[in-house]
Structure 1
Amino acid sequence: MKSRSNLSVVYHDNHLLVVNKPAGLLSQADETGDIDLLTLAKSWVKDTYQKPGQVYLGLVHRLDRPASGLMVLARTSKAAARLTRQFQARTPHKRYWALLQGRLDGAGRWEDYLIKSGRVVSVVSQKNPKAKYAALRWRALAYHKDTTLVAVELETGRPHQIRVQFASRGFPLLGDLRYRATRRFDGENLALHCFQLGLEHPTRREPMRWEQDAPATWSDWFAEVRAAVLRDSSEEHG
């Protein structure tokens, strides 16, 4: 469903608002003054629920501006606190699709130590006192025209983690010119999409899960493979 602000809302109740963030949209306002997801979401809640005055929404996690996919926002401070604890404990289940330059086969688990300097993240030695541990799991799903589709599960949530860990091994994401990509993708955006998000409902304490296919800009890239992944996941979870 979409509001008049064109916000793509996947699920909502009195405690949660789950949205499908488009690539190019900020998660939260910054110095650019560009429109952001949190502002649009507050407008959607105010309009949909006819709320007077200011609307509360808690931002409990983020997606990079050039990436797309599922995000959850908290509609109450209690929900925000409980969701924040979940994300700090790494219990939510997030799966991403990424399109990589080059051919990557098989599956694996990668561990690195990252450091952020300004707007750039780099892989550094474990001995660096400012380094942050980063780990992810990946599986190659398909290859065509020097492009690999991978599914990624994060074990940690470091800034630019997926982008940096793949680029450091010679497989930058399409469109990620900051991290060694030589091919553009959808203007200034990159080929990274959070297609699955699972977590415990903050008040009902029951498992919740949502899935969203990649945006239309991905239409020519492994559409049948992505559809099969979503179908198999739906059957697996009943």
Structure 2
Amino acid sequence: MSPASRSSRARAQLTLKEPPASVGAKPGGTLARLNLQFNPSTLELRKTTEWRRSPSRMAEESALPEFVGSGPRELSLEVFLDATATHDNSVEQAVEKLMKACVPTKASLGRKKPASPWVRFEWGSARTTSFDGVLSSLSVTYTLFDVDGKPLRATCRLSIEEASVGPAGQNPTSGSRTGRSTHIVVAGDSLALLAWREYGDATAWRVIAEANDIDDPMALVPGSELVLPAMSDAGAEEEQ
């Protein structure tokens, strides 16, 4: 490959944006941008679907599955950082940018609606791997150090979960939400998944948590009934 071809190759980048100020809104301004030194060697893209069965003791065969909805996309990738030939001679500045995607932004704290930044991975003209999401996991392994202990190389493994799919307020099975509805919790349910199905925004899980007085969003009991506020109700709660 010629030097000209290498220099014109598209470079991957990660962009951190201010989370939406309200349910259904677009992300805000750019908080940080990390231009990757090296394009990823692999990208893992996952998407799940959820089905529900109602078994019957009298049935000879298993019950037909009922489609509940499709889950968000999840992109996993490795980011390699090398500061041996850079001016600052450390990878910690780039790592700190990634760490910012795991904590609430100052603006969201000021609104009393804590939320971490939205993250977008972009690489040239790729579409399936480019979407607005939230960082669901991040791990950093330092692999080379200077004599003073300063990390010079690092491998960062991160997963981005899609946060917005289509117009807010749309549900794959019931259409737009115009009134309160209920949902019976099944195994595998999470507030983020329910918020995505109901509002098209996984970060709106707090609306459901507040409507049901849920202190621990991870402790959903299968068989319990949850109230899912309408978008108009959710907006009214935010204004209070």
> TM-score, normalization: structure 1?
0.24
Larger radius of gyration: 2
> TM-score, normalization: structure 2?
0.23
